[in-house]
Amino acid sequence: MKKADRSETHINLAIILLLQAVIYSGLWLWNEYVAVYLTLIFPGMILVILIIAGIADLIEPSRIPGWYYGLMIVSIITPLIIGAVFYYLYEGRLDWLA
């Protein structure tokens, strides 16, 4: 099995980032209520998984590839940025809060 080089990994992470941005943006346009909860819950769950994986890797080094950590960080940051952008675009007035 061939090992992916760094440029290929960066391109794949960029594609995943764009795909997540499109999905979360569509979710925000479709239903603000669901989008707010998923924007807050998914990054939190992924952060917990990342912390547990990091601790496990410190205790006993494993064969977790480096792109896994990049993927997890992208999956944490992307929904938070999209959520902040839409919160700014809606000027803090979410319909379901009224």
The rounded distance, in Å, linking the Cα atoms of 35 and 15 is 21
The rounded distance, in Å, linking the Cα atoms of 71 and 51 is 13
Q: pTM value?
A: 0.83
Tell me what the pLDDT averaged over the chain comes to: 88
Nearest CA-CA partner of 86 in 47, 50, 42, 33: 33
Tell me 60's DSSP state.
S
pLDDT band, residue 71 (cuts 50/70/90)? very high
pLDDT value at 65 more than 90:
no
The rounded distance, in Å, linking the Cα atoms of 98 and 63 is 49
C-alpha torsion angle, residues 84, 90, 94, 98 (rounded to 10)? 140
